[in-house]
């Protein structure tokens, strides 16, 4: 293998030597180096079959995983989908992340590696089930030749091909060599199993990554260890858009362990040392001056004032204009107006940002926890001015992603820093403060609603103007213009203001913004109409009257489903949530219930939240009920865990989530001033599945959005204030004086 | 922060093995474990004692390794997640698998170590006692319900 970076041609086992004091650690995930630039060749005795599968001599089956693992269970879900048609013995399954260099060289055979938007399963299931079936047929063909019988007489089961009539069998390991020479069959000639025949898909199998996550042996990006590796800490301009003005490297170069001080681009500077503590300590001791830049006077107040101007100006884009709002509005009996605000949010995955890079004259390698490994590779190549084909990215486990790791800012920095000491690997680790202050953020937005109710209390007209920082629907309008409500006159507009802080999609993306505002406003309309919130919502979701409107660009899209079908599915989960919550049962004074729905692509979610006001300015969440229809489930227990986690994530955003800006800089810095929901605040969560078994959806996001308005609606229902700006912690939760 | 304090030699017992190391006296145990001893199971989440990801046992007590300088614990016995059991056999580790607690898993070493110290002190904690103790540890993935279930299971099975 002439292409290896010589001194780094280490095996995974070497990576673990560092864990000398550990108790029998086993690596999980692909974090070793450096089959770097050779193709991903299976070790001797192992046979690769059609890119996806490696069969070992002991008949274990390694499945290559092309979706990144950030905790959502991608490794296990992808393995279940691939192993299902492969008829692999689940007990002998191993997994490894794909090689990104190999993926590139093989014309992207592994499909979409970007891992986001709850789309992993939806966009992979056909590819993986088909590949599994193709490889099974390659093994069957090889066995047919060996047995001298027609392929139709053979049965694949538990990593072996059986010939039932003669009782003979051959293990996959015995067939792999022959099978590797069989051309993969045309997918059109294969028939995939019907859902009722699945043995792995749809089953609550134990996650493959859990054992290593209970004994400290799971390797995240922050844990990558390479021979001779150095550590880097970084300081970035506190002010958005600011630049490094001056620094005094001499002041710290003599400190123990310090190797180099490296300016990183125009707005950051790093210290490289033997370990991270030394690097961080030296960096903190180094005199650094920054030049403010254009945004030095930016604050949350100026941003809000600018968004408000957006509400007053002419809209830049009319997203939807059904009927004639201008004519219908004045005619109606009753009107309601409300303005809602959602703040900036930081994703705050628990593992701070990091990346490890190794650069030589003509090669580079990056080890990184990322949702976008291919982008990470191109960003590194571009930063280094090198050919992308001379690089490799090793994805690691992520200590959370939530959209933050769709950006490759830290990869760019790691490449720049490692370039300063060629031939030596450098691990760049951001502090928590860096991570809170320098992330691209879930953007702010302001919404103004106006609606008209006719005499019967039905919604005659609905107007929603959003002021946001982006025309990209994922950051601004998802969930606002796709409403299925039976409202004859509906107008949704967007005013785009100049963005100041870089945006990054966060779990639930703009759905989490617009679900809060639309579902709150529907609840306010119900109250105004004197109607029950659930009954009011249900009437609006009438399939027979669903608005015949489909947003021009939606991703995830609706898979061609018509509005009546979508409305029926959304109403079905609404009904299920209300039913399971015992919606019609009365609650004691000071208690309240709220309900909300969220349609994300082909996933349909409804949430009910119950709260009790504590009489002292705050509240307690008694329970959360979620009903969900994502079409199918690969692994019901993992899916339930995703919903439980979504609820915690959404409640954190609802109650505490707020990044503010002062003098051009993010104010919050760490978990003391950017709070997370904690265990003693976690309510019981009940998850109820209603599966249409027709179209695949996702489970990792939609509850994040739905739980927020369900909570604020519950607070209002309990007699508390109507929360029109998040987070709730900025409000005093007292009973309104009636 | 000013320049690092003087290096000094500190002897610790880590997961049953005696370790002698030379490090700046104010260097937090967290970074000694991770970068000098290669024990990366103990995680860095906040560095200010606010998240619990770095929880280890020092002489049996749950301790935030990011807030503990090595010189302050010279001579102490430190147990990290890697040393909790030789074979993932601690009742909590088994319960963590049975309840399928981890998602990203990043917080889980700290969660398990705090829970282990709790059970050592109080083998049958009430739900309220579990909540009070475990609120020190953040799980951004929101695995809290399963953490409670796993602690209760381990208490039952121990
Ligand atoms: S890293 Fe020590 S408490 Fe967060
Ligand atoms: S499992 Fe991800 S932070 Fe707890």
Chain A positions in Cβ-Cβ contact with residue B14 (cut-off 8 Å) = 21
By most ligand atoms within 8 Å of CB, the mutation choice from B47, B62, B69 for ligand 1 is B47
Domain boundaries, chain A: 2-209, 224-293+353-429, 314-345+441-730
Per-residue pLDDT for B55 more than 60?
A: yes
Residue in this structure with the two tokens 């123990």, named with its chain if needed:
A256
Between the CA atoms of A707, A710, A716 and A721, what dihedral angle is there, to the nearest 10 degrees? 30
CA distances from B35 to A30, A182, A231 (A): 20, 48, 9
Query: Is the distance from the beta carbon of residue B138 to the nearest atom of ligand 1 less than 6 Å?
Result: no
pTM for this prediction: 0.94
Contact residues, chain A, for B47 at CB < 8 Å: 431-432, 670
Domains of chain B: 7-84 (3.10.20.30), 91-157 (1.10.150.120)
Q: What is the pLDDT of residue A114?
A: 82
Q: How confident is the model at residue B5 (pLDDT cuts 50, 70, 90)?
A: low
Q: Is A109 exposed, middle or buried (0-12, 13-18, 19+ CB in 10 A)?
A: middle
CA angle A278, A280, A285 (to 5 degrees): 95
Q: What is the pLDDT of residue A120?
A: 65
Q: Is B106 in the pocket of ligand 1 (CB under 6 A)?
A: no
CA distance A106 to chain B (A): 30
Q: Kindly state the average pLDDT of the residues A125-132.
A: 90
Question: What's the N-to-C CA distance of chain B in angstroms?
Answer: 46
Q: Test A678 with B24 for CB contact under 8 angstroms.
A: no
Q: Which residues contact residue B156 at a Cβ distance below 8 angstroms, ignoring those fewer than 6 apart?
A: none
**Cβ-Cβ contacts under 8 Å for A638 (sequence gap 6 or more):** A72, A73, A76, A77, A204, A207, B100
Note whether A359 and A392 are within 8 A (CB): no
pLDDT of residue A241: 87
Q: Are A118 and A71 in contact (CB under 8 A)?
A: no
Determine the pLDDT at residue A737.
67
> Does residue A37 carry a pLDDT above 90?
no
pLDDT at A96 over 60: yes
Residue range A112-119: mean pLDDT, rounded: 73
Is pLDDT of B155 > 50? yes
Tell me whether A15 touches chain B (CB under 8 Å).
no
Q: Residue for token digits 């669903």?
A: A546
* Residue A249 confidence (pLDDT): 96
For A2-209, CATH number out of 3.40.50.970, 3.40.190.10, 3.40.50.1000, 3.30.365.10 equals 3.30.365.10
What does the block give as tokens for A337?
A: 């107006």
Q: What is the pLDDT of residue A118?
A: 61
State the pLDDT confidence band at A40, using cuts at 50, 70 and 90.
very low
CA B137 to centroid of ligand 2, rounded, Å: 10
Q: Which ligand is nearest to the CA of B104?
A: 2
Cα A311 to Cα A303, A448, A493, A659: the distances in Å are 13, 7, 10, 22
Residue B103 Cα to ligand 2 midpoint, Å, equals 6
Q: What percent of chain B has pLDDT over 70?
A: 97
Place of tokens 């009973």: A735
Edge-to-edge strand list for the sheet holding A603-613 = A591-600, A603-613, A619-629, A684-689
Q: How many residues does chain B have?
A: 158
What 3-state class would DSSP assign to B72? helix
pLDDT tens digits for range A277-329: 999 999 999 999 999 877 889 999 999 999 999 999 888 999 999 999 999 99
Q: Which residues of B touch A20 (CB under 8 A)?
A: 37-38
Q: Which two tokens stand for residue A402?
A: 């939530």
A253 to chain B, any CB pair closer than 8 A? The answer is no
Confidence of residue A143 (pLDDT cuts 50, 70, 90): very high
Q: What is the mean pLDDT of chain B?
A: 95
Cα angle value A163/A165/A170 (rounded, 5°): 20
B14 with A672: Cβ contact below 8 A:
no
Residue A577: both structure tokens together: 């949530």
Whether A385 has its CB under 8 Å from any CB of chain B: the answer is no
Helices (H), A551-701: 563-580, 636-655
How far away, in angstroms, is B101 Cα from ligand 1 center?
20
Tens-digit pLDDT profile for residues A678-711: 999 999 999 999 999 998 888 989 999 999 999 9
Across chain A, mean pLDDT equals: 90
Q: CA–CA separation, A460 vs A344, rounded Å?
A: 33
Collapsing DSSP to helix, strand or coil, A476 comes out as helix
pLDDT of residue A727: 98
CATH architecture of the domain with range A224-293+353-429:
2-Layer Sandwich (3.30)
Query: Could you give the CA distance from residue A247 to residue A250 in angstroms, rounded to a whole number?
Result: 9
Write the pLDDT tens digit of every residue in A532-580. Answer: 999 999 999 999 999 888 887 666 678 889 999 999 999 999 999 999 9
Contact across the interface for A218 and B105, Cβ inside 8 Å: yes
How far is residue A275's CA from residue A621's CA, in Å, rounded to a whole number?
44
CA of residue A447 to ligand 1 center, whole Å? 38
Q: Do A679 and B144 touch (CB under 8 A)?
A: yes
Ligand 1 centre and the CA of A538: distance in Å? 46
CB contact under 8 A, B146 and A685: no
CA distance A612 to A619: 6
Cβ of residue A645 closer than 8 Å to a chain B Cβ? yes
Share of chain B above pLDDT 90, in %: 92
Atom of ligand 1 at shortest range from CA of B51: 4
Could you tell me if A217 lies within 8 Å of chain B, comparing CB atoms? yes
Q: In Å, how far is A377's CA from the nearest CA of chain B?
A: 23
Distance (Å) from the alpha carbon of B64 to chain A's nearest alpha carbon = 15
CA of A671 to the centre of ligand 1 (A): 10
What are the two backbone dihedrals, phi and then psi, of residue A639, each rounded to the nearest 5 degrees? -65, -40
Question: What is the CB neighbour count within 10 angstroms for residue A549?
Answer: 17
Within an 8 Å CB–CB cutoff, is residue A145 touching chain B?
Answer: no
Distance of residue A644 Cα from the nearest chain B Cα, in angstroms: 7
CA distance A411 to A405: 10
- The confidence band for B25, taking pLDDT boundaries of 50, 70 and 90, is confident
Q: What is the DSSP string of A406-462?
A: G--HHHHHHHHHHHHSTTS-EEEE--HHHHHHSS-BBPPEEEEEEEEE-TTS-EEEE
Report pLDDT for A36: 35
HSE-up (13 A, CA, CB side) for residue A582? 7
State the nearest Cα–Cα gap between A263 and chain B, in angstroms: 21
H-state helical runs in A247-368: 250-253, 276-285, 300-312, 325-331
Q: How far is A256 from chain B (nearest CA, A)?
A: 8
CA distance B22 to A495: 60
B100–A641 C-beta distance less than 8 A: yes
Q: Given B50, B82, B105, which is nearest A23 (Cβ)?
A: B82
* Nearest ligand 1 atom to alpha carbon B66: 2
Options 3.40.50.300, 3.30.413.10, 3.30.365.10, 3.40.640.10; CATH of A314-345+441-730: 3.30.365.10
> Between A509-529 and A533-540, two packed helices, what is the crossing angle to 10 degrees?
110
Which among B28, B93, B134 has CB closest to A277?
A: B28
Distance B33 CA to ligand 1 centre (A): 13
Which residues from chain B sit within 8 angstroms of residue A77, using beta carbons?
Answer: none
**Nearest-5° Cα angle at A263, A262 to A269:** 90
C-beta atoms of B24 and A222 within 8 A: no
Closest CA to A358 of A174, A228, A462, A445: A228
Question: pLDDT at position A9, please?
Answer: 31
B140 within ligand 1 shell (Cβ under 6 A): no
pLDDT band at A152 (very low <50, low <70, confident <90, very high): very high
Among A13, A229, A275, A277, which would you mutate to test the B interface (most chain B Cβ atoms within 10 Å of its Cβ)?
A277
Q: Do A224-293+353-429 and A2-209 fall under one CATH topology? A: yes
Please list every residue in chain A whose beta carbon sits closer than 8 Å to the beta carbon of residue B42.
216
H or E stretch including B37?
Answer: none
According to DSSP H, which parts of B23-107 are helical?
29-31, 91-98
The predicted complex's ipTM stands at 0.97
State whether A682 and B42 contact (CB < 8 Å): no
- B97: nearest CB among A206, A642, A646: A206
**Amino acid A91: pLDDT:** 94
CA-only gyration radius of chain A, Å? 28
Alpha carbon distance A133, A635 (integer Å): 20
- Tell how strand A334-342 and strand A168-171 pair up: unpaired
């Amino acid at each position: 293998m002439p292409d290896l970076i010589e001194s780094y041609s280490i095996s995974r086992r070497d990576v673990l030597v560092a864990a000398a004091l550990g108790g029998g650690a086993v690596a999980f995930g692909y974090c070793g180096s450096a089959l770097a630039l050779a193709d991903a060749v299976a070790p001797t005795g192992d046979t690769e079959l059609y890119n996806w599968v490696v069969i070992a001599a002991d008949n274990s089956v390694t499945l290559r995983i092309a979706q990144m693992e950030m905790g959502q269970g991608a490794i296990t879900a992808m393995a279940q989908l691939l192993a299902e048609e492969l008829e692999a013995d689940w007990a002998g399954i191993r997994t490894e992340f794909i090689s990104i260099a190999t993926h590139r060289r093989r014309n992207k055979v592994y499909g979409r590696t970007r891992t986001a938007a709850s789309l992993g399963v939806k966009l992979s299931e056909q590819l993986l089930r088909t590949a599994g079936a193709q490889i099974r047929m390659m093994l069957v063909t090889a066995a047919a030749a060996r047995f001298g019988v027609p392929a139709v007489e053979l049965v694949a089961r538990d990593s072996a091909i059986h010939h039932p009539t003669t009782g003979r069998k051959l293990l996959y390991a015995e067939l792999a060599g022959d099978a590797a020479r069989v051309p993969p069959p045309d997918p059109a000639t294969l028939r995939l199993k019907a859902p009722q025949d699945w043995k792995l898909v749809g089953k609550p199998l134990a996650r493959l990554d859990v054992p290593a996550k209970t004994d400290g042996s799971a390797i995240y990006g922050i844990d990558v260890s390479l021979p001779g590796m150095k550590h880097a800490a970084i300081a970035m301009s506190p002010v958005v858009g600011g630049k490094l003005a001056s620094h005094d490297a001499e002041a710290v170069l003599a400190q123990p362990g310090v190797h180099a001080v490296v300016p990183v681009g125009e707005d950051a500077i790093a210290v490289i040392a033997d370990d991270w503590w030394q690097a961080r300590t030296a960096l903190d001791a180094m005199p650094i001056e920054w030049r403010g830049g254009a945004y030095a006077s930016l604050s949350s107040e100026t941003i809000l004032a600018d968004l408000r101007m957006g509400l007053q100006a002419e809209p830049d884009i009319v997203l939807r204009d059904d009927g004639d709002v201008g004519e219908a509005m004045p005619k109606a009996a009753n009107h309601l107006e409300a303005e809602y605000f959602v703040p900036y949010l930081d994703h705050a995955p628990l593992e701070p940002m990091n990346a490890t890079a190794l650069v030589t004259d003509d090669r580079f390698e990056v080890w990184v926890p990322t949702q976008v490994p291919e982008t990470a590779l191109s960003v590194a190549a571009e930063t280094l001015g090198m050919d992308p084909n001379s690089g490799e990215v090793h994805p690691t486990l992520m200590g959370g992603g939530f959209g933050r790791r769709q950006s490759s800012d830290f990869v760019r920095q790691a490449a720049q820093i490692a370039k300063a000491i060629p031939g030596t690997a450098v691990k760049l680790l951001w502090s928590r403060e860096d991570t809170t202050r320098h992330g691209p953020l879930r953007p702010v937005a302001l919404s103004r609603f106006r609606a008209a109710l006719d005499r019967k209390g039905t919604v005659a007209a609905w107007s929603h103007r959003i002021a946001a920082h982006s025309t990209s629907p994922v950051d601004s309008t998802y969930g606002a213009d796709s409403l299925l409500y039976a409202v004859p006159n509906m107008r949704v507009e967007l005013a785009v203001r100049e963005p100041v802080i870089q945006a990054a999609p966060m779990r639930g993306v703009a759905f989490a913004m617009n679900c809060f505002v639309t579902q709150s406003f529907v609840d306010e309309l119900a109250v105004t109409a004197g109607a029950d919130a659930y009954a009011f919502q249900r009437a609006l979701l009438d399939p027979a009257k669903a608005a015949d409107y489909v947003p021009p660009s939606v991703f995830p899209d609706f898979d061609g489903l018509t509005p009546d079908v979508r409305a029926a599915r959304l109403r079905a989960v609404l009904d299920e949530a209300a039913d399971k919550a015992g919606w019609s049962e009365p609650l004691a004074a000071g208690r309240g219930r709220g309900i909300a729905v969220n349609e994300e692509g082909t996933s349909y979610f409804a949430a009910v939240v119950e709260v009790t006001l504590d009489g002292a300015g705050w509240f307690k969440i008694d329970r959360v009920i979620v009903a969900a229809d994502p079409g199918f489930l690969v692994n019901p227990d993992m899916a339930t865990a995703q919903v439980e986690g979504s609820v915690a994530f959404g409640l954190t955003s609802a109650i505490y989530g707020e990044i503010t800006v002062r003098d051009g800089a993010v104010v919050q810095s760490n978990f003391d001033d950017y709070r997370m929901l904690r265990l003693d605040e976690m309510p019981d969560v009940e998850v109820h599945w209603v599966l249409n078994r027709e179209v695949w959806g996702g489970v990792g996001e939609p509850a994040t959005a739905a739980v927020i308005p369900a909570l604020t609606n519950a607070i209002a229902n309990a007699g508390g204030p109507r929360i029109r700006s998040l987070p709730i912690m900025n409000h005093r939760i007292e009973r309104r004086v009636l | 922060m000013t320049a690092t304090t003087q290096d000094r030699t500190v002897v610790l017992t880590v997961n049953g093995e005696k370790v002698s190391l030379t490090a700046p006296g104010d260097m937090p145990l967290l970074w000694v474990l991770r970068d000098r001893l290669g024990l990366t199971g103990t995680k860095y989440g906040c560095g200010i004692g606010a998240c619990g990801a770095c929880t280890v046992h020092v002489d049996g007590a749950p301790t935030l390794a990011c807030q503990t300088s090595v010189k302050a614990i010279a001579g102490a016995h430190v147990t990290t997640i890697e040393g909790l059991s030789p074979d993932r056999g601690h009742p909590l580790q088994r319960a963590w698998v049975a309840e399928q607690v981890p998602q990203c898993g990043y917080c889980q070493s700290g969660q398990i170590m705090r829970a282990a110290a709790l059970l050592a002190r109080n083998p049958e904690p009430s739900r309220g006692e579990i909540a009070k103790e475990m609120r020190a540890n953040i799980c951004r993935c929101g695995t809290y319900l399963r953490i409670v279930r796993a602690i209760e299971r381990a208490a039952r099975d121990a």
